[in-house]
């Protein structure tokens, strides 16, 4: 068994703690997984990510296929050895690039966008379409050199097996909230067929590479904001088998209405096998963690903590603040008082303010360490609160502070 449930939350029966077992170590869940898109969490070394308490990292199959090439990572001994990360690793399938390089719209949008009158082929303002979908797969045009590349379920599986991550994802089509209901149905059926092809290819590659550690394949549940489509996708993939073998776990993907995130996750988890891990792709806001965990999600990933850090946005228990403000020029206190991360215990706001204004690379390193620490430990705190029986109090205190607008008043 690759996933074991440790406890449930009485007030929210779908919520649970557990352990995801991998060849490179166990992951206590719920857990946040930092994103190292190109085999690195930007601006920091793997030892720093380990020191903040992260249990695993997630890399991007599409980007590593383009550069340096999945064959090179394979020759180096796999993703973990290539990037000097000893713990568990995840790779996504390339499906996210169908959205990011196709329409260019964001994954999580306000409810006001759903069902709007954009054409199914619409592209976000100032974006260029670099991905085109057909029933067999996707044509990508490289953002590096403009060359065209063909991704199919079989190609994605081959790339991810060469990358060698402990957890890999089936190739899927990620739609947007702006797509029509008819297109959502069409894409969902395409993703279902691709999921079966991924299972077939995964079994063949596992047998072909039997000398390598086993890689868990997670099916990805789509369906956008539609309850019937989400439930159908979960039932289809939850029961899907090839030669008696199904998915090892599941990813909950696709465009999400922020206001209904918890409900959408709940529709899915109610239909999935309970003894399989569920990974919610691309989520990192505190209120989203609580909503998703109450609805049965186990692990999460997102680039946002490191991305906003590089732009001087800093997470704190009392909300997010921007370190570019003039008030920090002579502020010699820690970045966030009471935080135990390396940055907060060694450097002042004034110093980081100076680094940012001076455009020093060290700023990105120190800010990223803090934001990733904050995010990892927030989810760790939720896990501990469930296990120790004070979840309701922890949630009220955490969200009450973070969204109170009282930053700087304590």
Annotated active-site residue 92? The verdict is: yes
Distance of CA 156 to the CA centre of its chain: 18
Annotated active-site residue 166? The verdict is: no
Catalytic residue (one of 92, 172, 236, 288): 92
Cβ-count burial 236-249 (b if 16+ within 10 Å, e if not): bbbebeeeeeebbb
The secondary structure of the chain, three-state, reads: CCEEEEEEECCEEEEEEEEEEECCEEEEECEEEEECCCCCCCCCCHHHHHHCCCCCEEEEHHHHHHCCCHHHHHHCCCHHHHHCCCCCEEEECCCHHHHHHHHCCCCEECHHHCCCCCCCCCCCCCCCCCEEECCCCEEEECCCCCCEEEECHHHHHHHHHHHCCCEEECCCCCCCCCCCHHHHHHHHHHHHHHHHHHHHHHHHHHHHCCCCCCCEEEEEECCCCCHHHHHHHHHHHHHCCECCECCCEEEECCCEEHHHHHHHHHHHHHHCCCCCEEEEECCCCHHHHHHHHHCCCCEEEECHHHHHHCCCEEEECCEEEECCCHHHCCCCCECCCCCCCHHHHHCEHHHHHHHHHCCCCHHHHHHHHHHHHHHHHHHHHHHHHHHHCCHHHHHHHHHHHHCCCCCCCC
Catalytic residue (one of 74, 166, 301, 318): 301
- Just list the catalytic residues: 92, 301
């Amino acid at each position: 068994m690759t996933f074991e449930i440790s406890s449930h939350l009485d007030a929210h029966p779908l919520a649970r703690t557990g352990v995801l077992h991998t060849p490179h170590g166990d992951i206590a869940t719920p857990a946040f997984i930092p994103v190292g898109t190109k085999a690195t969490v930007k601006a920091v070394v793997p030892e720093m990510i380990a020191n903040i308490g992260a249990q695993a990292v997630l890399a991007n199959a599409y980007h590593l296929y383009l550069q340096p090439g999945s064959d090179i990572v394979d020759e180096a001994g796999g993703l973990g050895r290539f990037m000097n990360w000893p713990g568990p690793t995840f790779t996504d399938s390339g499906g996210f690039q169908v959205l990011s390089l196709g329409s260019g719209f964001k994954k999580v949008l306000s409810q006001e966008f759903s069902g709007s009158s954009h054409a199914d082929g619409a592209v976000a303002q100032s974006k260029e379409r670099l991905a085109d979908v057909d029933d067999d797969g996707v044509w990508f045009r490289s953002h590096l050199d403009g060359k065209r590349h063909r991704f199919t379920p079989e190609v994605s599986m081959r790339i991810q097996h060469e990358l060698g991550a402990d957890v890999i994802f089936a190739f899927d089509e990620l739609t947007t909230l702006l797509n029509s209901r008819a297109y959502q149905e069409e894409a969902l059926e395409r993703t279902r067929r691709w999921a079966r092809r991924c299972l077939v290819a995964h079994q063949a590659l596992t047998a072909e590479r039997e000398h390598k550690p086993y890689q868990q394949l997670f099916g990805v549940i789509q369906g956008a904001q539609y309850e019937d489509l989400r439930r159908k996708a979960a039932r289809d993939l939850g029961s899907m088998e090839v030669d008696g073998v199904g998915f090892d776990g599941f990813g909950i993907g696709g465009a999400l209405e922020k206001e209904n995130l918890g409900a959408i996750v709940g529709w899915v988890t109610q239909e999935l096998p309970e003894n399989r891990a569920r990974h919610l792709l691309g989520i990192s806001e505190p209120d989203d963690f609580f909503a998703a965990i109450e609805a049965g999600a186990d692990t999460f990933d997102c680039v946002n903590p490191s991305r906003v850090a590089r732009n001087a946005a800093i997470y704190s228990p009392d909300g997010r603040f921007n370190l570019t403000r003039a008030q920090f020029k002579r502020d010699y206190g820690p970045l966030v008082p009471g935080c135990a991360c390396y940055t907060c215990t060694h450097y002042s706001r004034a110093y980081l303010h100076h680094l940012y204004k001076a455009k020093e690379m060290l700023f990105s390193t120190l800010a990223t360490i803090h934001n990733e620490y904050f995010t990892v430990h927030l989810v760790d705190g939720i896990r501990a609160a469930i296990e120790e029986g004070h979840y309701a109090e922890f949630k009220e205190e955490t969200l009450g502070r973070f969204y109170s607008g009282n930053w700087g008043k304590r």
